[in-house]
Amino acid sequence: MSTEAATHAVEHSAKFDMAEMLTHHMVNSQELEMPWGTIHLPTLDLFGYQLPVTRHAVMMWVASSLALIIMVWIAQRARLVPGKAQSLLEMVVVFIRDEVAIKNMGEEDGRRWTPFLLTTFFFIFFCNILGMVPFAASATANISVTGAMALLTLVLIHGSGIARFGIIGHWKNYLPPGLPGWMSFALCMRLFANMLAGHMIVLSFLGLIFVIGYVFVPVSVGLALFIGFLELLVIPLQAYIFTMLTSLFIGMSLHPAH
């Protein structure tokens, strides 16, 4: 590298803070960046409690709304001979029902829990998709979100077991060699770490343009696009893994003998 190029790179690295850029894009805040500027989100006063509306909360509302709108739109246009959208949706629903719910919970329990598992799958899927949209964010890259989902799973694991076997019977089944106590933590960390890591790698490659210089643009953009394509595969995969493990753990609580 020539002296001028080295000096140019140093100047760029002095002006550009990679850590600050990554923190700004990945950490939750009350600011929503849009093409026309920054929207400052409000703080709601509910019964004397201050409840801040954050960027990831908005993304969860958007993901839930997208899932609801798309499902209702496809359902209203359902035909005996399905179109492409209906065929794709039916394929996902049948897969979750037969290969995830029924296989892990049995016929009766699997059909009963299928609506919840489908809701879990599509919520995570749309949250992950939003992370690929400019000016949006992935709520599943927030450990508070994945932690809340894992906590809900833990409640359902114990709740379903207690409802079927009673408190004493459930805890007899749950104690070793039953379900491991840290399994919900694994659910939380797996989804959070995978989604966060993917976004940080893409942003890091793009940030290298400002650190090294614009001569690095082709390499940086190429690497970022490659990781972006990998993330497109990770998005449905992580939704499936979380859903599958949820059904597996609940199934273990409902059918401890198996």
pLDDT tens digits for 89-145? 999 999 999 999 999 998 999 999 999 999 999 999 999 888 888 778 888 888 888
pLDDT value at residue 171: 77
Do 247 and 113 touch, CB atoms closer than 8 A? yes
Do 161 and 253 touch, CB atoms closer than 8 A? yes
pLDDT surpasses 60 at 14: no
Under the banding of pLDDT at 50, 70 and 90, the label for residue 7 is very low
pLDDT value at residue 1: 42
Specify which residues 44 forms β-bridges with: 51
What is the rounded CA–CA span in Å between residue 209 and residue 13? 10
CA distances from 217 to 2, 154, 187, 223 (A): 18, 46, 37, 10
pLDDT value at residue 100: 93
82 C-beta neighbours (distance < 10 Å), count: 15
What is the rounded CA–CA span in Å between residue 256 and residue 49? 42
Phi and psi (nearest 5°) for 137? -155, 160
Task: Name the residue among 251, 33, 235 with its Cα closest to residue 131.
Answer: 235
Q: Which two tokens stand for residue 179?
A: 């379900």
Burial 1-18 (b: 16+ CB within 10 A, else e): eeeeeeebbeebeeeeee
pLDDT value at residue 194: 61
pLDDT surpasses 80 at 220: no
Q: Which two tokens stand for residue 15?
A: 């002006």
DSSP-H helix ranges across the chain: 3-15, 18-26, 55-76, 84-95, 103-105, 107-130, 143-174, 183-212, 217-254
What is the rounded CA–CA span in Å between residue 63 and residue 25? 19
Decide: helix, strand or coil at residue 83.
Answer: coil
Residue with the bigger pLDDT between 104 and 207: it is: 104
Is the pTM higher than 0.85? no
β-pairing verdict for 31-34 and 43-46: unpaired
pLDDT (tens digit, 9 = 90+) per residue, 140-175? 888 888 888 888 888 888 888 888 888 888 777 765
Do 99 and 108 touch, CB atoms closer than 8 A? no
